[in-house]
Amino acid sequence: MVSALRTAAVEADRMAGSQGMLSAVTKGRARKGTAISGWSDVARSIYTGTLMRHPLLAALAAAALSCSTASERPNPARPNVLFIAIDDQNDWIGALGGHPQARTPHIDGLARRGTLFTNAHAQSPLCNPSRTSVMTSLRPSTTGVYGLSPWFRDLEEWKDVVSLPQYLARHGYRTYSTGKIYHGGYGRQEEDDEFQVIGPPAGVGSKPDEKLVDTPSPHPLMDWGTFPHRDEDKGDWIVADWAVEQLRALPEEPFFLSVGFFLPHVPLYVTQKWYDMYPEESIVLPPMLRDDRADTPRFSWYLNWTLPEPRLRFLEEAGEWKNIVRSYLAATSFVDSQVGRVLDALGASGRADDTIVVLWSDHGYHLGEKLISGKNTLWDRSTRVPLVFAGPGIASGAQCRRPVELLDIYPTLVELAGLPARDGLEGQSLVPQLQDADTPRDRPAITTHNHDNHGVRSEDWRYIRYADGSEELYDMRQDPNEWHNLAGDPGMAGVLETHRGWLPPSSATPAPGSKHRILTYEGGVATWEDQEIGPNEPVPEL
Ligand SMILES: [Ca+2]
Ligand SMILES: [Ca+2]
């Protein structure tokens, strides 16, 4: 009977359109790039309207859902996966200690329930290349995807690569996606065939009538602060809403539910409630060394030569430094609350015991450190990210300090799901560390930004080599802020040699169609966004 009820519930869910009408609605919207405000109302009316037209199904579904507790459900052959991505979230997470004031009780709770990686790094400090790497377990230096374009499916060499959700789908998983998993609208079209069920896209939601901050770049996203609006009208709320709805009507087969939150990506708009959690007078600014860039190579500036993200000088002169820090912290706490809503729904679904939760961010973010704001650097501030696994087979309350990479997520989930190992993945399974956090690893974490610029993060050191051969080296035990570049110290020759040995053996040139934040270096000439950088050209100030 339970099985029949469950079938009825699943059927009701399907008739309600979680595969058909619902995804068609959202895909249509995503294609047109229209605003998504009010999306959840549309979804809800489709859902409830369908159920009301089928009272028997509605009753059966309700009965099935009300008795579907963990103890009554047979253990599925494979664990489910709840895959939570956060955008531009650095290590300002309570459990990671990146900022002393960060309040993230839900992510901290997840970390207590599972294993927190305290030395996890993105493979690129930029959305599209980082996410491409996570979902394919291939390095940017392998694919040549370095900028916000291209979409890797448009590349002859990579168009048929089997992504993580595709691999899970081939093994019987039902795959869902909402919000920002791939960059922009990538992977959200029906013909992309990345996910089976697609929910609302990432979005800012409510916006003020005018920008709140007059930044040097008029870019509309480059903004932060509070204005009168409701949490319920924010894009991330709508994304969480949809995820919660899916968790209330789960399929019979194991699921892969990917939920991508947009904040704390700019614009850092928050409602008063979250803004008030961090009073301006109490804000602790990030640690700063005024002449920090005196010992970083000139080439380090080329990685973010001119961008909409303002330099520290603007933030200070405009009196906006504390405000952007405050807004970032507030946006982080808001996103944490949305993570909490989804985790609560997982708990209420009765499936938490057979669901692996993995939470990650695509890269970090500077808020004044090294005299800049934004990403696109090879220091910890840009590369270090939260990474948490929790669920069956994973040690709880554990912290792993080994250097690990986001592209390890794919082979880790394959192993945890008990699926055949895949050839051709560049990541390494983290299952040994998820069982015993002290298990050593035999390699560091590598981050690449544009062609031939690499950061290597071992347990104790940060090494960077730029395309022109210039280098940086930091002792992360003594100098966690990466202030004192030791690359020129003769005593460091051995450490340098070891770290040079970890650089990728070959480095793909930018893939066809590469654009947006592309830097090249050929014949001694650096070119940023198709403009040559003069060897003596002053570093752009703002
Ligand atoms: Ca990002
Ligand atoms: Ca320095």
The predicted-structure confidence for 488-527, as pLDDT tens digits, reads as follows 999 999 999 999 999 998 899 999 999 999 999 999 999 9
Strands across the sheet containing 461-465: 445-448, 454-457, 461-465, 471-475
Q: How many helices (H) and strands (E) does the chain have?
A: 17, 20
CA of 171 to the centre of ligand 1 (A): 29
CA distance 152 to 87: 19
Residue 403 has pLDDT above 50, yes or no: yes
Helix axes 39-53 and 2-16, enclosed angle (nearest 10): 130
78 C-alpha to ligand 1 centroid (Å): 31
Q: 10 Å Cβ neighbour count for 385?
A: 28
The active-site residue out of 99, 121, 127, 265 is 127
Give 85's DSSP letter. E
| Cis-peptide into 105, omega within 30 deg | no
CB 119 within 8 A of CB 293: no
- Percent of residues, the chain, with pLDDT higher than 70: 86
Residues contacting residue 539 through CB under 8 Å, at least 6 positions apart: 298, 301, 305
Distance CA 347, CA 329 (A): 27
Predicted pLDDT at 77: 75
The ligand that comes nearest to the alpha carbon of residue 132 is 1
Q: Where residue 22 falls among pLDDT bands split at 50, 70, 90?
A: very low
For residue 28, is pLDDT > 70?
A: no
Strand, helix or coil for residue 60: helix
Virtual torsion, Cα 152, 153, 154, 157, nearest 10 deg: 80
Q: Give 378 Cα–ligand 1 centroid separation in angstroms.
A: 14
User: What spacing in Å lies between the alpha carbon of 385 and ligand 1's midpoint?
Assistant: 11
For residue 350, how far is its CA from the centre of ligand 1 (angstroms)?
32
> Cα(459)–Cα(403) distance, rounded to whole angstroms?
6
Which pLDDT value is given to residue 228? Answer: 98
**pLDDT at residue 69, as a whole number:** 35
Question: Smallest Cα–Cα separation from 80: which of 209, 272, 206, 253?
Answer: 253
**Which residues have C-beta within 8 Å of that of residue 491, sequence separation ≥ 6?**
none
Query: Which ligand approaches the C-alpha of residue 371 most closely?
Result: 2
Residue 179: helix, strand or coil by DSSP? strand
pLDDT of residue 50: 30
- Strands across the sheet containing 519-522: 519-522, 525-528, 531-532
Catalytic-residue membership of 127: yes
pLDDT at residue 73, rounded to an integer: 41
Banded model confidence at residue 60, pLDDT cuts 50, 70, 90: very low
pLDDT digits (tens, 9 = 90+) for 335-358: 999 999 999 999 999 999 999 999
Whether pLDDT at 21 is above 90: no
Ligand lying closest to the C-alpha of residue 290:
2
Greater confidence, 75 or 516?
516
What is the pTM for the complete model shown? Answer: 0.87
Q: Which residue has the higher pLDDT, 251 or 406?
A: 406
Give tens-digit pLDDT for 227-249: 999 999 999 999 999 999 999 99
Dist. CA 56 → ligand 1 center (Å): 45
Residue 528 and residue 305 in contact, taking contact as beta carbons nearer than 8 Å: yes
The 10 Å Cβ neighbour count of residue 136 is 24
- Closest listed ligand to the CA of 128: 1
Instruction: Return the amino acid letter for 44.
Output: R
Please give the pLDDT value at position 189.
Answer: 86
Dihedrals phi, psi of 482, to nearest 5 degrees: 55, 55
Per the structure block, which two tokens stand in for 257?
């539910």
Would the CA dihedral through 369, 370, 371, 376 be positive or negative? negative
Among all bound ligands, the one having the nearest atom to the CA of 486 is 2
Which fold is adopted by the domain 79-419+444-532? Answer: Alkaline Phosphatase, subunit A (3.40.720)
pLDDT in tens, 317-329: 999 999 999 999 9
Q: Which ligand is nearest to the CA of 180?
A: 1
Determine which one of 121, 183, 363, 499 is catalytic: 183
Residue 455 alpha carbon to ligand 1 centre in Å: 18
Per-residue pLDDT of 346-391, as tens digits, reads 999 999 999 999 999 999 999 999 999 999 999 999 999 999 999 9
pLDDT at residue 64 greater than cutoff 60: no
**Greater confidence, 393 or 2?**
393
pLDDT at position 51 over 70? no
The residue whose two tokens read 């990210």 is 385
Å from CA of 502 to ligand 2 middle: 23
Q: CA dist 290 to 15, 287, 540, Å?
A: 61, 10, 17
Q: 67-76, 95-104, 144-153, 529-538: which range is least confident on average?
A: 67-76
pLDDT at 435 over 90: yes
Q: How far is the CA of 486 from the centre of ligand 2 (A)?
A: 9
Angstrom distance (rounded) from CA 214 to CA 222: 9
CA–CA gap between residue 514 and residue 254 (Å, rounded): 37
Task: Report the length, in residues, of the chain.
Answer: 542
Mean pLDDT of the chain: 88
Residue with tokens 């057979």: 354
pLDDT score of 541: 86
Average pLDDT over residues 78-105: 98
Give the residue-averaged pLDDT of 423-446: 98
How do residues 269-317 score in pLDDT, each as one tens digit?
Answer: 999 999 999 999 999 999 999 999 999 999 999 999 999 999 999 999 9
pLDDT for 43 beyond 60: no
Residue 481: per-residue pLDDT:
98
126 alpha carbon – ligand 1 mean position (Å): 6
* Confidence band of 192 (pLDDT split at 50, 70, 90): confident
Question: From ligand 1's centre to the CA of 163, what distance in Å?
Answer: 19
What do you get for the CA distance between the two ends of the chain, in Å? 67
Annotated catalytic, 229? no
Residue 239 and residue 198: Cα distance in Å, rounded? 11
The pairing of beta strand 115-121 with beta strand 355-361: unpaired
**Top-confidence residue, 39 or 64:** 64
- Percent of the chain residues past pLDDT 90, beyond the cut: 84
Q: Please give the backbone phi and psi of residue 163, each rounded to the nearest 5 degrees, phi first.
A: -75, 170
Q: What's the pLDDT score for residue 14?
A: 33
Gap from CA of 481 to ligand 2 centroid (Å): 9
Q: What is the CA radius of gyration of the chain?
A: 23
Ligand closest in space to the Cα of 485: 2
Task: Please report the pLDDT score of residue 251 as a whole number.
Answer: 87
Q: How far is the CA of 187 from the centre of ligand 2 (A)?
A: 40
